[in-house]
Amino acid sequence: MPALPHAIPLENASNLRDLGGWPTTDGRRVRLGLVYRAPALIDLSDKDLATIAALGIRTSCDFRGVRESAANPVQLPGATAHLLPIEPSIGAGLRDILRTGQMTGHVTAADMLALLREAYVAYALTSFAQYHSMFALLAGDEHLPLLIHCSAGKDRTGFGAALLLTALGVAWPHVLRDYLATNTHWKREIAGFFDLPAPVKDTLLSVHEPLLTAAFDAIRAQYGSVDAYLTRAIGLDPQARTRLADRLLEG
């Protein structure tokens, strides 16, 4: 078993990872080679394209807003793209968060963290239809292997990956470990676009455990439990979760 998380090196991008390998509470593991997470994979080298082609990805789920995806289309070899936009109007996009901070006239690292927290709660409570669509695609073998991505691959994608691992029965410490690995594996290729004080930029371009915790706390507050949320909001009742586990877990 490779070291976790299983990162796939590229020349012109970073933080492409296989979600496989994580153990579940019932002693199984997420199968390798079926679900990947990434930032927007654009401006790739020929070697990068060959590396991605070798993964055999059939489906990509793009959580970027409509303008984000139109400005920088992602075309992966052999993959059908499904646009599942989480629009910046609800605070999901990095540029929207930046603009919101600038309009206040001054933004601190704490302000930025608070804005990001609002975005994460919105992922869970406002954008569940997009994640419902992600799970619907995961239910079909013809869509696998599947990749999920947004712009930076850290927030909208991070919540989606955490939701999937949780649905599969991966314990919270491992879910957090996958989420926080972005701080190690992502090279912040977009950092030059943001003219911000260093502490604010670092907050914006990092992932933070309290943000993911806030999203799941909001789920429990509104739905009573994550299980109820998966059933009512995501369309993943216990029988569907069993089928998903049989598809994506070893054993």
pTM listed for this prediction: 0.93
> Highest mean pLDDT: which of 103-107, 173-177, 199-203?
173-177
Model confidence over 92-131: pLDDT tens digits? 445 555 565 555 556 788 888 988 999 999 999 999 999 9
Distance CA 175, CA 70 (A): 31
Q: Which one is predicted more confidently, 148 or 89?
A: 148
| Confidence band, pLDDT 50/70/90 cuts, at residue 191 | confident
Contact 37, 55 (CB under 8 A): no
Task: Map out the domains of the chain with their CATH numbers.
Answer: 6-248 (3.90.190.10)
CA atoms within 13 A on the CB side of 155: 30
- 91 confidence band (pLDDT: 50, 70, 90): very low
The number of CA neighbours under 13 Å toward the Cβ of 177 is 13
Catalytic residue of the set 8, 74, 150, 244: 150
CA angle 170, 149, 83 (to 5 degrees): 120
Cα 1 from Cα 165, distance rounded (Å): 18
Question: Given this model, what pLDDT does residue 185 score?
Answer: 97
61 is catalytic: no
Give kind and range of the element (H or E) at residue 207.
none
